[in-house]
Amino acid sequence: MLLGRRIKTTLSLLVAMLILLGMVSSAMAVSVEDIRNKTDLTLSYYNQQVAYDDWQGLGLRWLGTEIAPKLEASSATIASDYARLLLGQIAAGRPAVTVNATIAALQGMQGPGGDFNTVGAVTLNQTIWPVIALNFAAKNGYAVSYDQADAAAYIAAQQDAGGGFDESGWGVDVDSTAHALIALSSYQSDYPQAIDQALSYLKSQQDLSGGFQSWGSVSPDSTAAVIEALIALGHDPQSPSGTGWKGNMVQAMLGYQLESGAFYAPWTAGIANSITTRSALLALGDLAQNKSKYHNTLPVTGSLALTVTNNGNLHPDSDTGINVKVNNASGNNIDFLVITALYDLSANKMKVYTSLSQSIAAQGVINAQYGLSLPSAGSYELRVFVWNNWTDRTPLTAATIMPIE
């Protein structure tokens, strides 16, 4: 009888521990509201950038931001370049003739073995991204015709014995494996074993914190890539199916976000890193939309692109100048309202503000400058809003938040 009691007691303790672990896991999950707030903060950071590259443009457009007036011109010579260019062109809504020309050029680079390698550019990267970009183009209504089966087979065949992939020629790593999974996510029923093995490899590279290792250290960039891959496969990154996952990868990635909305790299703690921020943006978009950008149609934008810059003097007891630039990417006039406000965080309200209400012509640009005297003490932020009017207060762009420190 004593043995029976001990077994029952042990079972009861195990059940209690499992329940407790479930509660801890639930408490660790990042809420939908928190993800949205973190995403909005990153959008605010990008409102303060004067130009976007193709990857930034894709991530921002997926979140509904108008990028056409701020997308930098770029060129292409190899297949991965053409894939990146294609993603940026579609995100910016470039003319169909331009997009179709890029599609044709990219399709023409596919070889008889299914790959997109060219002279001097023979890496898996040259096939992974054309597959992703061409399938993305098809999802967004463009006519695409290439040998998908051979391309997918070529990618799957490059998997190493440990389940990982090497896309760059530098060795198997987390980023390469995540990108290969994004490419293969359109063909899951054809390659279930390869996908399972790749996921097993990723688990082996995960830190207890939830982040993923990249060449010896936990990397927010690599963690972001895995988040994108899991969402493309239909998994919840905060609760992926299968055993062996550790921590919370979403929470781990967000731990690198700065107050400005940018993200920092481990080797430059506290300093915004443009590549790391771009990686996080791409993952945040999928988290906020709860689906993969690569498998869905891009959202319609409000047509207004916002750029907010300051004179770099955002310190207490000083004067600052704020420059607000609004571009209209549409073919119609748009009425809008810009509000530049000193926001009192302790009272949770605007202390002082200035506003501009007017109409911007089709394809037009409006610049406005504001001067503000900042308080000597207290907790404040500068905020810039673009609404349709005072009555409805419908946002036409993401808000811009600038900490005063």
Tokens 């965080």 belong to which residue?
Answer: 345
**Per-residue DSSP letter, 299:** P
Residue 311 has pLDDT above 50, yes or no: yes
Q: Which helix H or strand E contains 361, and what residues bound it?
A: none
Strand partners for 320: 372
Ranges 7-21, 55-69, 149-163, 262-276: which has the least confidence = 7-21
pLDDT, position 288:
98
The mean per-residue pLDDT over the stretch 164-190 comes to 97
Long-range contact pairs involving 391-398 (C-beta distance under 8 Å, separation at least 24): 396/302, 396/304, 396/334, 396/336, 397/47, 397/65, 397/66, 397/302, 397/304, 397/305, 397/306, 398/40, 398/43, 398/44, 398/47, 398/63, 398/65, 398/306
d(CA 55, CA 132): 13
Section 334-352 average pLDDT: 90
Token code pair at residue 183: 């490419």
Longest CA span, the chain? 87
Mean pLDDT of 296-306: 97
Q: Is the pLDDT of residue 211 over 80?
A: yes
Q: What gap in Å lies between CA 344 and CA 339, rounded to an integer?
A: 15
Sign of CA dihedral 71, 76, 82, 84: negative
Residue 6 scores a pLDDT above 80: no
- Domains present along the chain, CATH in parentheses: 31-295 (1.50.10.20), 304-403 (2.60.40.10)
What pLDDT is attached to residue 338? 95
Residue 39: per-residue pLDDT: 98
Q: The dihedral of CA 26, 29, 35, 37: what is its sign? A: positive
pLDDT at position 404: 86
Among residues 321, 346, 344, 326, the alpha carbon closest in space to that of 336 is found at 326
Stretch 61-86: mean pLDDT, rounded? 97
Q: Other C-beta atoms within 10 Å of 250: how many?
A: 24
Residue 285 tokens read as 């978009």
- The predicted model scores a pTM of 0.91
Encode pLDDT of 129-160 as tens digits: 999 999 999 999 999 999 999 999 999 999 99
Tell me what the mean pLDDT of segment 325-353 comes to. 92
